[in-house]
Amino acid sequence: MERGLPDTPTVEAAIALAVRAPSLHNSQPWRWRVGDRTVQLYADRGRLLPETDPQGRELLLSCGTALHHLRVGFAALGWRAEVHRLPNPADPDHLAAIELHRHEPTGEEIELAAAIPRRRSDRRRHSSWPVPEGHVRLMAERAAAEGIFLSATEGSARYHLWRAMVEAARQHEHDPAYQAELSAWSGRHAAPDGVPSTSVPAPDATPGALPDRPFADPELAQPAGAEGEEDETMLLILGTTSDDRMSQLRAGEATSAVLLTATALGLASCPLTEPLEITGTRETLRTRVTGGSYPQMVLRIGWAPVNADPLLATPRRALTDVLAPLAPSLGS
């Protein structure tokens, strides 16, 4: 980039961090374009999962998560990102235009950027150690800084969330098209996208365990002794006052802020969206869990057992597949 903005290696380093963001079934539904003065984020509708996410809500969440990863990456590299969200009404897939300004990184920004390559979606059981209230407050503060409400589910709220997860899993179990799509996007070994077998444990048969998607060919072992230990999983839910595209994009950014904070604190984490993919269960959560706000994301947080093996990084598409120069006729 010219005019005193980041050079190409800096831009590519920030985008390499951005594409480490989690996405639905690791679909990575984003495209990046780079001009002389801006970086542009576009949704890649060709990677929408029509059976799981027919309205594209989770596609927007995924792109919002990558957008926050980008902001954090640039900040740690010495550039503040000024983001113009949904800048082009004529192109709904144009999600953000990012201007960059010189910036002195803060300790928090460096800490969050360092968490990006270490973050994993850990679907294994957690240990019996409770998550400190101060950790939850910090995650809630960072979600609030993105304009999103975060709360921990307890008591009846957790019960209703658990019931919604069970009901969503039951409905999906009897949906052949959904099952075919899930199978197509999981059980992978050498692909640059999708959910690899090495990231998925077998279904947890412990009574009262949270249901998880039946990804194909699970190969990830539970830590030794985890089945006999009390699982102190905490379920956090992100909500918004409206359910428009801006709210969904910002909820993705808040998801990134919470996940990176959890990783920096040493916590294991995993996004859970299945109960939000069915109208009935999502409405149950809105009325009985989030007090009328629209639930956008559920996050499973806890401490990994001390003997848990490190998780392998989930593959990502090459930068050359998602990054291109901005056409001069489109401006910069």
At 280-322, the pLDDT tens digits run 999 999 999 999 999 999 999 999 999 999 999 999 999 999 9
- Split at pLDDT 50, 70, 90, the class of 172 is very high
Give CA–CA dist 239/251, Å, rounded.
8
Q: What pLDDT is attached to residue 327? A: 58
Task: List helix spans (H) across 55-212.
Answer: 57-76, 107-115, 133-144, 155-173, 176-184
Please give the Cα distance from 141 to 180 (Å, whole number). Answer: 39
The model's pLDDT over 39-86, given as tens digits with 9 standing for 90+, comes to 999 999 999 999 999 999 999 999 999 999 999 999 999 999 999 999
46-55, 122-131, 220-229: which range is least confident on average?
220-229
Residue 298 pairs in a beta bridge with: 237, 272
Length of the chain: 332
**In the chain, which segments carry CATH 3.40.109.10?**
8-117+315-330, 133-302
pTM for the model stands at 0.96
Q: Is 27 helix (H, G, I), strand (E, B) or coil?
A: coil
**Number of helices (H), then strands (E), in the chain:** 9, 11
Architecture of domain 8-117+315-330: 3-Layer(aba) Sandwich (3.40)
Beta strands 149-152 and 195-196 are: unpaired
**Closest of 241, 5, 237, 27 to residue 101, by C-alpha:** 5
Mean pLDDT rounded to a whole number for the chain: 94
**pLDDT of 157 strictly over 90:** yes
* Percent of all residues in the chain with a pLDDT value above 70, rounded to a whole number: 95
215-240 average pLDDT score: 87
Could you say which architecture CATH assigns to the domain 133-302? 3-Layer(aba) Sandwich (3.40)
